[in-house]
Structure 1
Amino acid sequence: MTTEALVNQIKKKQSFLCIGLDVDLDKIPSYLLQEEDPIFAFNKAIIDATHHLCVSYKPNTAFYEAYGLKGWKSLEKTIKYLNKNYPEIYTIADAKRGDIGNTSTMYAKAFFEDLAFDSVTVAPYMGKDSVEPFLAFKNKHTIMLALTSNQGAFDFQTKDVEGKELYKMVLETSKSWVNSENLMYVVGATKAEYFKEIRSIVPNSFLLVPGVGAQGGNLQDVCKYGLNKDIGLLINSSRGIIYASKDAGFANSAAFKAEELQKQMAEILSK
């Protein structure tokens, strides 16, 4: 999917909501465990109930890999269902891959060609030759970790390196890589005070923003400094939406929570 297509969808739906499909079998309604594929049954219900309120879904691959081959099959069924029934939806494989050369190319093929995701998250610690193989795929995006929402982010990401915080060096350096126009960046909502400086470095890039909702991030604070001329934000909420209820009406409850965020986004866009 092109950036233009994503922006058009955001404007049409008045939403820049991304819903994380992080399925834990211990947290889904118990009756779904009787299904042949409980993970896919859960995802399908959530997707059907919320697709008109969001522009993106983001399965975290760890929640599928943990269940072995069955979990990977569930992920494959989920992305095929999305691409067939809701092709306008932007899909993110939250895999946080990062390795050199041919290994990165194979990771990229797995998510872009075999599973047909629109984007994948990557870790930049190994430098450009671990990221550029992902950037080589046309109309696909690579979403690079920049400043994350976890407490351990302060261990390295904000450390001073030659007079500059490390995450800023990562952002600036990545702009020089081949096909860097295909880059997006992960910036945690719990770091809202950093968005102004991040936008001064990457003013035109999309930012994937986890941490709104269950992790305590504030939507208004993020948008105050994070929005750009093309909106430029994908706000992710996972647990706060998909686990809104464990009863038979769980999908409707998820839709209610998603609509709450969508309405806030529509109001922000109207201004």
Structure 2
Amino acid sequence: MSPNPSFVRTLDEAWRRTGSLLCVGLDPEPSRFPGAFANRSDAIFDFCRAIVDATAPYASAFKPQIAYFAAHRAEDQLEQLIAHVHEKHPGLPVILDAKRGDIGSTAEQYAREAFERYRADAVTVNPYMGFDSIEPYLAHEGKGVIVLCRTSNPGGSDLQFLDVGGRPLYQTVAQLAAEKWNAAGELALVVGATFPNEIEVVRGIVGNMPLLIPGIGAQGGDVEATVRAGRTKDGVGMMINSSRAILYAGKGDDFAQAAARAAQETRDKINLYR
């Protein structure tokens, strides 16, 4: 038996237990923190912990972006934060947004970083170098591997829409993930909310595979179009991520309460269309 619970199973249970498809992204930028956090060595952890505790009732997952921690030499605070989520909010999976993409022994080390050092439940990876850049992550039983497929940024089309045998490359990635790479059953795909038509196409290719969907909120993705395109038949199947619109909903001492209100409103808006 795997020492780790299945990411996909935990996520499915979280969707159904919480009644939420919202994933709260944790992209801490100290220059945007309320003044009370100024000049504090633990500011990133304390700010994110307050956001996590305030928004947990409305979320089914959290997604810390590693660059926002590493840029401020706060990797130890990221470790603390993920441990806090596991301890105080068990059953809500943590996705380490790292977008790693390398091969062989280097990929093995990135996998150890994500799953052994940070103890994340899943990690985002870039499939550009092929299956052997993804395989080392799958060696960690029960851990999720979330593959970039159709990203939310405009420049994603530079490569993801290249013709490959009569169809865009992102569709080939989706089919490979669903049919050849997912032997462990722990894969998911990233598809941006800014492209609802592509979300629908990917859903048709991958069946019930989970989709991580960034791009609502600050990036302007349409919630209704996203949900209708990406939901499974039973109204789940998506981790719809919002980061800045929740993190920085308030600028004063009530920042956590403002984040909670924004999370609740986002969850409720998503649920209107499930």
TM-score by length of 1: 0.95
Partner of residue 144 from structure 2, selected from 141, 144, 154? 141
Shift of 1:161: 2.1
Alignment length (residue pairs): 267
Distance 1:168 1:180, change over 3 A: farther
- SS of 1:211's equivalent? coil
RMSD: 1.3
Matched with 2:81 is 78
Matched with 1:259 is 264
* Unmatched 5+ stretches in structure 1: none
Report % sequence identity: 40
- SS of 1:259's equivalent? helix
Shift of 1:194: 1.2
Shift of 1:164: 1.4
Using the alignment, how far apart are the partners of 1:150 and 1:220 within structure 2?
19
Shift of 1:229: 3.6
Using the alignment, how far apart are the partners of 1:112 and 1:157 within structure 2?
28
Matched with 1:176 is 180
Matched with 2:114 is 111
Using the alignment, how far apart are the partners of 1:78 and 1:171 within structure 2?
32
Using the alignment, how far apart are the partners of 2:272 and 2:124 within structure 1?
29
TM-score by length of 2: 0.94
Shift of 1:265: 3.0
* Unmatched 5+ stretches in structure 2: none
Using the alignment, how far apart are the partners of 1:170 and 1:241 within structure 2?
31
Q: Which amino acid aligns with 2:130?
A: G
Using the alignment, how far apart are the partners of 1:88 and 1:168 within structure 2?
32
Partner of residue 164 from structure 1, selected from 160, 164, 167? 167
Q: Which amino acid aligns with 1:191?
A: F
Segments of 4+ moved more than 6 angstroms: none
Matched with 2:202 is 198
Shift of 1:106: 1.3
CA contact 2:79–2:117 (8 Å) conserved in 1: no
CA contact 1:14–1:265 (8 Å) conserved in 2: no
